[in-house]
Amino acid sequence: MEEFKRLDRKLVFKGSIIDFYKDTVQVPNGNVVEWDFIGHKGAAAVVPVTEDGKILMVRQYRNALDRYTLEIPAGGLNSPSEPMIEAAARELEEETGFSCDHLEFLISVRTTVAFCNEKIEIFVAKDLKAGTQHLDEDEFINVEAYDVEELCQMIYDGKIEDSKTISAIMSYNNKYVK
């Protein structure tokens, strides 16, 4: 493999969710280029499966798209060292109001490898126990239940475009349904 060498990384902006850097990199032909890099502490997500096999989804407004989306429950880690399985359990309860005693690892997703290091680990939750949502002040989430087939069709129809949700639903369908 050809060699790439990072010469410098400068923090341009520190945000609450991401940090924006300007990297200086020497590429294999010797040229020096600048690349954008987004640092992300990571996230966890969960596929909550009801007793009758439906998947609980969250419908919420996403500012980046200026519209509502249908997604699996997910959220960022509280710190880079937080175990992702704990974050997944926390997000399940916060966003849906349900909890479970055991989460099973499903898949890891790197969302945008061209410029961001975000990693999302996705888990499956079964034997759900009803509780109460614990939403943040800026969260307004509706919980909806769907059959896996319905969700796959929404993916094929372009109604679900979120990468973590697509990866999770298709992986779940392949591993548990088909």
Task: Give the model confidence (pLDDT) of 126-157 as tens digits.
Answer: 999 999 999 888 889 999 999 999 999 999 99
Farthest CA pair distance, the chain: 59
Q: Is the dihedral of CA 115, 171, 133, 101 positive or negative?
A: negative
The three-class DSSP label of residue 15 is coil
Low-confidence ranges of the chain (pLDDT < 50): none
Residue 115 in tokens: 């410029």
Active site residue 137: yes
Of 22, 45, 20, the residue nearest 125 (C-alpha): 45
Name the CATH code of domain 41-177 (choices 3.90.79.10, 1.10.10.10, 3.40.50.10800, 3.30.420.40): 3.90.79.10
Considering the candidates 94, 118, 137, 150, report the single residue annotated as catalytic: 137
Q: What is the domain partition of the chain in residue ranges?
A: 5-39, 41-177
Render pLDDT for 21-31 as a digit per residue (tens, 0 to 9).
Answer: 999 999 999 99
